[in-house]
Amino acid sequence: MKISKVVFPVGGLGKRFFPITRAIPKEMLGIMDKPLIHYAFEEAMAAGIEKFIFVTRHGKDSIEDYFDYMFAHSEYFDIKIGSVCYVRQNEPLGLGHAVLCAKNLIGNEPFAVMSADDFILHSKSCLSEMIKCYDGSNMVATVSVAPQDVDKYGILDVDREMNKLLVAKSVDEKPSIKDAKSTYAIVGRYLLSHEIFCILENLKPGTGGEIQLTDALLRMIPSHGLVGFKFEGKRFDCGSKEGLLSAILNVANQDKTLHHIIKNFYEEQR
């Protein structure tokens, strides 16, 4: 099934990276010479996405400036000029609310959502692999996390497994370790039916007082199902210092001109 639009929710405050995110959007933090949002954009492009919708807010103008520059110099950056739109999220009311802000730009078609701070390092685009398996059920990327980390994620309650796909019978946003039904966490890649907007419009705040996308997915299970896609490649939570550092090291290590720096560093520590 064709998916041609992606929503990038980039209105978050990036609190785990204060003070730098007081002045720089977390999506503009760099892995070597490219910001996180650039990698997400490339992954979407590789998946055939044609329309890129950024849900942004005050203080995030550098994202627009960055893509203006990229498109003006697209011949150097291997970036195609797609159709790019920016819509404002005036208050940080949660991921579900951010997605709802894009409603008028989506129309009656399924669409993708990508969180730039979930960086996935792989030769294939994770989003592209998901689209190949998409059959109209709401789909999320998923990975098994350590039990002590389940309270950081949306967690699937898995009914059955079919190769790369996990069919969920329920989903819970940031459960405690004792309430979690599995360790399969939602990673920031979603393929959603446009009907999610009706649910989001009527949703009450959930965990953390925010409008949670996970709660909308839960409500839609009877009508649209929910599947987790077990993606290939390494995922880094670049909304945390540990994740960003680890992503930088992994990317640098793949670069022949840089990996001696990492090797030398470890040798010096011995």
Of residues 19 and 208, the one with the C-beta less far from ligand G1P:
208
Q: Which of 6, 143, 187, 211 binds ligand G1P (CB under 6 A)?
A: 187
- Residue by residue, DSSP assigns 187-249 as EEEEEE-TTHHHHHHTPPP-GGGS--HHHHHHHHHHHH-EEEEE--SEEEETTSHHHHHHHHH
Please select the residue that binds ligand G1P; options are 153, 184, 190, 229, rule is CB under 6 A. Answer: 153
State yes or no: residue 216 binds ligand G1P (CB under 6 A).
no
Does the protein bind ligand G1P through residue 89 (CB under 6 A)? no
Binders of ligand G1P among residues 22 to 81 (CB under 6 A) are none
Tell me whether residue 6 or residue 187 sits nearer to ligand G1P (CB atom): 187
- Beta strand 226-230 with 138-144 is parallel
Give me the amino acid identity at 129: E
User: Measured between alpha carbons, how far is 156 from 183 in angstroms, rounded to an integer?
Assistant: 8
Q: How far is the CB of 123 from ligand G1P (least distance, A)?
A: 22
Check binding of 185 to ligand G1P (CB under 6 A).
yes
The answer for residues whose C-beta is within 8 angstroms of residue 131's C-beta and 6 or more apart is 1, 3, 47, 48, 112, 191
Confirm or reject binding of residue 214 to ligand G1P (CB under 6 A): yes
Angle at 160 between CA 120 and CA 174, to 5 degrees: 55
Among the listed ranges 51-59, 74-82, 104-112, 179-187, the one in contact with ligand G1P (CB under 6 A) is 179-187
Residues near ligand G1P (CB under 6 A) are: 95, 115, 118, 153-154, 173, 185-188, 212-214
